[in-house]
Amino acid sequence: MAVGQSSAHVGATKGFTYTTFTAAEEALKQEVRQFLRTELPIGSYRPCLGMSAVHDGEFTRKMAARGWVGMSVPTRYGGPARSAVDRFIVVEEMLQAGAPIGAHWVADRQSAPTIMRFGTDEQREKFLPAIARGEMWFSIGMSEPDAGSDLAAVRTTATRTDGGWLLNGTKIWTSNAMQNHWFIVLCRTSPNEGDRHEGLSQFLVELHGTPGLQINPIAFLDGTYHFNEVVLTDVFVPDEQVLGEIGRGWSQVNSELAYERAGPDRFLSVYATFEQLLREKLAGGELDARSYDVFGRITARYWALRNLSFSISRTIDQGGAPAVEASIVKDLGTSFEQEMIALLHDLWDDEEPSQEATTLGNRLLAACILTGPSFTIRGGTNEILRTVANKGLAAWHGVSR
C-alpha cells in the first residue's frame, strides 16, 4: 500500500505505511484519557520527562488493574494479550501526560516479551502474571564499563557450577536497580574465540537479597538518582534462572533491543514540558509570531514522528519485524527532542530555566536541558542506530557493505 493511503489493515511491509485507529482503538485512547483526567488532573502533579519517570507503585497497580501493564502478556499467563497498537496508544497517552510510569516501564516494554519469547514455562508462570499485576519490576543488565555500543565486549562471566552458574563482573548505568526487583544480565559463558557474538547468555537475577550482588549509586547530572553500578561477585544463579539457550544470548539480546527502541518513548521525553510551556505562554495572552513559529514547527515534527512510530506498531501486529524502521525513528526522534529543547530554550527570554525557577515550565525546561544529552545515548547511540539502519537497508536492496 502506498504511503499516504490510510488503512488499519494492511499487509506487513518494509518501510512505513500510513495507518489510522480503528473504532476500538479510538475508544481505548478515550478510556486512557479519561483515566488520566481522573488520576492525574493537570496542575495536580509535576509531569515526568517521558520514560525517565518516577516510580509510583500505586499508579502502576491502577494501570495494571485496567490491563495496561504487561500488555503483551497472553491471558494464560495472567496478561491482557493486547496488540502492539493498543500498547502504543496507552504509552503515547501516558508519556504525553508525563505520568509516573517508571516502576513498570522496563518490565512492560521489554522484559515481559523477552521472557515470553525465550523463557521456560516455569519462568513464564513465575514472572509474567506478577509483571501484569504491576508487582514485579525489572532493570536492564547489559552495559559494562567497557561494553556499551560494543555490547559483545561484555566481560561479566558466568561459569558452570553445581546446579547453576557463578556470575562475576560489573554492570553499569543500571537504571532503577535500587527499586526494581529483577534484572536480565548478559554474560559471557564461553571464551571469546573467533566470533565474539558466540558464547553469550542471559540470566534472570534478583536485585535484592542475592548474596554477592552489590548496588552502588551513581548520581545523574540533574541531581536525581536512578543510575547504578551493579557488582556481581560469585553470584550463584540456579539453572532455573537461565533465560533462553546458553550461548544464544546475542540474538536474544538483539530481539530485546528491538522492543527497547521501537516506541514513542523515543520522541516524547520533552512533550509534557512543551505542553506546559505552551500553556504558560497562552496564559500570558496571544502568542507572538516567533512563538507561533517555534510551537508550530515542533507540532508538525511531532505529528510526523508519531505517525512513523505508530506505523511500526501496526507492522508488528501484522507479523513484521521492523528493526530498521525502529532504528530510524529512534535516531530521528531523539535528535528532534534535543533540537526542540534548544528551540524552546531560545524562545524563553523572560527567565533563565533553572531548578529553582518561578514557573513549572522553566523548572521542567531546566531538567530537559540537563538530561537531554542522554536521549541520544540510552538504548543505543545514534551512531550505532544509523549503522543498524544502514546495514538493514543494504540488506533490503541486496547490497553488501
Ligand X SMILES: Cc1cc2nc3c(=O)[nH]c(=O)nc-3n(C[C@H](O)[C@H](O)[C@H](O)COP(=O)(O)OP(=O)(O)OC[C@H]3O[C@@H](n4cnc5c(N)ncnc54)[C@H](O)[C@@H]3O)c2cc1C
Compose the 236-255 pattern: x for residues touching ligand X by CB under 6 A, - for all others. --------------------
Answer yes or no whether residue 173 interacts with ligand X by CB under 6 A.
Answer: yes
Q: How far is the CB of 167 from ligand X (least distance, A)?
A: 15
Task: Give the other-Cβ count within 10 Å of 163's Cβ.
Answer: 10
Give the integer Cα–Cα distance in Å for 245 and 56. 34
Phi, psi of 223 (to 5 degrees): 90, -10
Q: Binder to ligand X among 383, 394, 395, 396 (CB under 6 A)?
A: 383
Answer yes or no whether residue 352 interacts with ligand X by CB under 6 A.
Answer: no
Region from 291-299, 325-333, 338-346, 375-383 binding ligand X, contact rule CB under 6 A: 375-383
Q: Binder to ligand X among 15, 74, 78, 148 (CB under 6 A)?
A: 148
* Residue whose CB is less far from ligand X, 72 or 180: 180
| Numbers of helices and strands, H then E, in the chain | 12, 8
Largest CA distance in the chain: 72
Using alpha carbons, select from 112, 103, 111 the residue that is nearest to residue 141: 111
Q: What single letter denotes the amino acid at residue 172?
A: I
* Residue 135 annotated as catalytic: no
Q: Binder to ligand X among 378, 388, 389, 392 (CB under 6 A)?
A: 378
By CB atoms closer than 10 A (0-12, 13-18, 19+), residue 136 is buried
Q: What stretches of 108-181 adopt beta strand conformation (E)?
A: 138-141, 157-161, 164-172
Q: How far is the CB of 293 from ligand X (least distance, A)?
A: 31
Q: How far is CA 266 from its chain centroid? A: 7
Q: Binder to ligand X among 60, 143, 201, 327 (CB under 6 A)?
A: 143
* Residue whose CB is less far from ligand X, 266 or 378: 378
Give the DSSP letter string of 310-360: HHHHHHHHTT---HHHHHHHHHHHHHHHHHHHHHHHHH--SS---TT-SSH
Phi, psi of 311 (to 5 degrees): -60, -35
Tell the residue number behind the cell numbers 556470575, with chain if given: 167
Q: Binder to ligand X among 142, 326, 332, 340 (CB under 6 A)?
A: 142
* Residue whose CB is less far from ligand X, 52 or 309: 52
Span 122-141, contacts to ligand X by CB under 6 A: 139-141
Answer yes or no whether residue 231 interacts with ligand X by CB under 6 A.
Answer: no
Query: Among residues 92, 93, 260, 337, which one is catalytic?
Result: 260
Answer yes or no whether residue 175 interacts with ligand X by CB under 6 A.
Answer: yes
Answer yes or no whether residue 374 interacts with ligand X by CB under 6 A.
Answer: yes
Which residues contact ligand X by CB under 6 A? 139-143, 148-149, 173-175, 374, 377-378, 380-381, 383-384
Which active-site residues does the annotation give? 260
